[in-house]
A and B are shown apart, each in its own frame.
Chain A
């Protein structure tokens, strides 16, 4: 038996797969062949180390975290069983449809491919913006929804392109400068694209308009956009300030400032202090019915542009309440990190938010109001 064949015996021995005869063959070879002996020693050691890898456990109960979702699934299946006619009339409530949609949405195209979708998004954007407010009915809803989907894809594509540019845009950008990127994309995308469309700007134009828009408004917006994410006590302890206000440096966003830990906490506290006066004012403004520019609320509550829902960030979840009934329509599965940067899409069909994880990474999510599901948004 040559050394190559013995090698297989060694591996099988590590897995307890050798017969006594095979083991005898292995041992007799090893006794005569120092190289194989050495190899076997190393393999045994590696195997022992692999067997001793830490038996990690989740930080919190995963079943608890998915409980709201499980209850929703349960409710939907009951509804379906009790009232098949209703289920047939509203396809959005059909869990199988939901599942299929989820699967489809999670297969994001590569970012380069999304450029081609941008053009379709422009058309769809027109459709949504120009749709008469009174029009209703299932077919129309479906159509609007699917076009919103397309817009979303193109938004994401543009956003990705933006992220690609960020590093080269230079360190001149303020630490907070890229926080509102996403919100600016969402709010200003359609109007800008319309302009570009009339210029014949097409796909490349869309990208350009978004970035120039960001450059113009980035600094000004950053102060106000941070505000809503701040807890009701913006002047509070450095820790509390740091959670919502300071963008935690993420590995893939080198343009974000390098301030970390206590330093950033105190900086955030100082920054937030003068803003607190403004917040009260904005609250009044909002109460008196004045819509802040672009429909972005300056409070810790985030009404949807169509006024149907109010979203707010809680400690480990996003909660969305129906304005009409006051009922909670969606509570996201618990996530380990500070929730913030809530931004509604212009048509109110989607809510974007971010989770700042303990390890310093940022996760982005999108909630779909049509079926109350959420998914991860690409960075």
Chain B
């Protein structure tokens, strides 16, 4: 997503039409992040509407030294994590059990693709920060640095969250495929 800098400037200087146009350009990106973090359409609708309203009212506080796309992702991820924090079990991220967890028949597994529902349900089981990092990496195509800026996390933490999240996803998906319990 690239928003034209001129549009942002116009919006910041009080051009309401420009601001609305800008919101329209980003709404899908905002929604997509919320959808995969919250794994629920209605919550995602609510969270992204709230994020857009916040962007509307806070556009004046955006500073050019940050990328606009990381600024809006920071707003939407904060809303998702703060306001829609759920008390549901997530897997524990334990490094030891993840490395060379099990021997698998690679060929057999590579042949069958994971079901979309399984992937979503596995993402949903990740702790929220790990989940958020995965969403920004794969749905927003963000780099390590952009994720770090969006979430206000050190670069090494971003890497470690992302790597662990992938390990954990793999373990969960493997379990699903072997008929383990889902959900």
Contacts and interface: CB of A to CB of B under 8 A. Distances in A.
A39 B103 CA distance: 9
Contacts of A51: 138
Contacts of B18: none
Interface string B11-42: 00000100010011001101110011000011
Interface residues of A, number: 48
Interface string A32-50: 0001001101110111011
A53 B106 contact: no
Given A11-B166, A73-B56, A106 B83 contact: yes
A17 B144 contact: yes
A163 to B, nearest CB: 16
B91 interface: no
Interface in B146-170: 159, 162-163, 166, 169-170
Contacts of A63: 20, 23-24, 27, 52
Interface string B27-64: 11011100110000110111011001100110000000
A134 interface: no
Contact of B53 (A35, A69, A359): A69
Interface of B is mostly: helix
Interface stretch (B2-10, B65-73, B113-121): B113-121
Contact of A336 (B42, B109, B110, B119): B42
B170 A46 contact: yes
Contacts of B129: none
A270 to B, nearest CB: 30
Given A58-B31, A66-B49, A43 B170 contact: yes
Contacts of B27: 58, 61-63
Size class of the B contact interface (CB-based, 8 Å)? 35 or more
Contacts of A106: 83
Given A336-B42, A357-B42, A359-B41, A39 B100 contact: yes
Contact of A58 (B48, B120, B143, B173): B48
A57 interface: yes
A210 B86 CA distance: 28
17 contacts: A11-B159, A15-B162, A46-B173, A47-B166, A49-B114, A50-B138, A50-B169, A53-B120, A53-B138, A54-B116, A55-B32, A56-B36, A57-B28, A62-B52, A70-B20, A73-B56, A73-B57
Interface of B: 16, 20, 23-24, 27-28, 30-32, 35-36, 41-42, 44-46, 48-49, 52-53, 56-57, 83, 99-100, 103-104, 106, 109-110, 113-114, 116, 119-120, 134, 137-139, 143-144, 159, 162-163, 166, 169-170, 173
Question: Which 6 residue pairs are nearest across A and B when measured between Cβ atoms?
Answer: A50-B138, A11-B163, A38-B106, A58-B31, A62-B27, A63-B23
Given A38-B106, A58-B27, A58-B48, 13 more contacts: A3-B100, A11-B162, A11-B163, A41-B110, A42-B106, A47-B138, A49-B114, A56-B32, A59-B45, A63-B52, A66-B53, A73-B53, A357-B42
